[in-house]
């Protein structure tokens, strides 16, 4: 698979997911602002990957700081953290990564480190966050693969694969583990309008891995559950509330309702950093609203009447009562 994100020399390099699968293009970010813009404009997406990108962006920006005193260094650092936090409001991994970077700086300041030492510490912390996500994905696959029924036909939504993480993916990682164990028979990714992450990214990942898969439109899911045996729905998450309500890409809630009606297990797969214990329930999770252009246009081609109004909620919340199990790197 393509590396989703990497630190190369003095730059953060990421594959431009807006161009996949047609073109493999890499964006090279040499400033923190460029990293923030890449997150905001969906060059990189997926909650764990966004967290890694934010951490790297902060480290990259502070690596170029001219501050010599601790106070000025801390002021610049806070500005960068605020800029990263303003990019995407829903995915909690972003804020978790920023908090880890803040903790790393605080430890360095307490130790009396110089500006150069603080810069090295921040870079090391960002790379540790990346490495942690890689290992987390492996562990998630091990735990989740056990839950996959033999001969399973699996339905998934959006992209929670390698492109959404620094590793092999969360939901797709669980599917991969099931496939390698000889348990997954076929996968049906939903196209995931309006950004088409399922069609462009998940299907591409599955095909690259040699996993039998068939694309469906979002509004085919209930029909497929009724007319063909679907054994499991496996999705990722951008934030899980303290009561286990799950926030994920818009359309997930509807899939959970359909799965419940048809008696199909509904698995949510995410690193433990996606669990937000400070948010009591799903009603309190901020739902990102993106530009309606992505709804009324497809890749710049208008599909709705001129001046049409539209909604573009990026996420929805699935009540915990509809969730069969949550899989993290710590277990099920």
14, containing H or E segment: strand 11-15
Give CA–CA dist 285/332, Å, rounded. 23
Nearest CA to 271 out of 238, 233, 315, 232 is that of 238
* CB-based contact 10:127 (threshold 8 Å): no
Rounded Cα distance between 253 and 79, Å, is: 36
- Please name the helix (run of DSSP H) or strand (run of DSSP E) that holds residue 303, with its range, or none: none
Candidate list 133, 231, 238, 316, residue with the active-site label: 238
DSSP E strand stretches across the chain: 5-8, 11-15, 26-29, 152-156, 184-189, 232-235, 239-241, 246-249, 266-269, 275-276, 297-298, 301-302, 315-318, 325-327
Residues in Cβ contact with 165 at an 8 Å cutoff, skipping those fewer than 6 apart: 4, 46, 48, 49, 52, 133, 134, 137, 173
CA–CA separation, 81 and 13 (whole Å): 19
276 carries an active-site annotation? no
Instruction: Give the contacts of 78 (CB within 8 A, at least 6 positions apart).
Output: none
| Phi, psi for 45 (deg, rounded to 5) | -150, 170
The set of catalytic residues is 238
């Amino acid at each position: 698979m393509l590396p989703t994100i990497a630190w190369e020399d003095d730059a953060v390099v990421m594959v431009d997911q807006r161009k996949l699968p047609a073109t493999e293009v890499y964006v090279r970010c040499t400033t923190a602002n460029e990293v923030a813009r890449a997150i905001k404009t969906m060059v990189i997406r997926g909650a764990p990957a966004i967290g890694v990108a934010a951490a790297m962006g902060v480290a990259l920006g502070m690596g170029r700081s001219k501050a010599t005193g601790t106070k000025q260094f801390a002021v610049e650092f806070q500005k960068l953290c605020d800029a990263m936090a303003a990019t995407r409001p829903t995915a909690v991994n972003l804020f978790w990564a920023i908090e880890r970077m803040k903790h790393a700086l605080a430890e360095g300041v307490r130790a009396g480190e110089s500006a150069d030492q603080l810069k090295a510490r921040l870079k090391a912390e960002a790379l540790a966050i990346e490495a942690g996500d890689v290992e987390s994905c492996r562990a998630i696959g091990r735990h989740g693969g056990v839950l996959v029924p033999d001969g399973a036909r699996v339905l998934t939504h959006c992209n929670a694969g390698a492109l959404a993480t620094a590793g092999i993916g969360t939901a797709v990682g669980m599917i991969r583990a099931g496939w390698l164990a000889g348990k997954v028979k076929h996968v049906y990714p939903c196209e995931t309008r309006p950004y088409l992450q399922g069609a462009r990214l998940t299907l591409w990942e599955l095909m690259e891995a040699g996993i039998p898969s068939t694309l469906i439109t979002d509004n085919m899911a209930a029909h497929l559950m009724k007319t063909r045996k679907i054994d499991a729905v496996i999705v990722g998450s951008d934030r899980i509330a303290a009561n286990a309500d799950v926030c994920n890409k818009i359309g997930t809630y509807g899939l959970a309702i359909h799965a419940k009606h048809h008696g199909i297990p509904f698995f949510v797969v995410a690193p433990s950093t996606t669990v937000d214990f400070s948010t009591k329930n799903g009603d309190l999770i901020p739902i990102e609203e993106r530009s309606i252009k992505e709804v009324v246009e497809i890749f710049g081609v208008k599909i709705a009447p001129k001046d049409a109004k539209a909604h573009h909620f990026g996420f929805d919340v699935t009540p915990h009562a509809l969730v069969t199990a949550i899989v993290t790197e710590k277990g099920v």
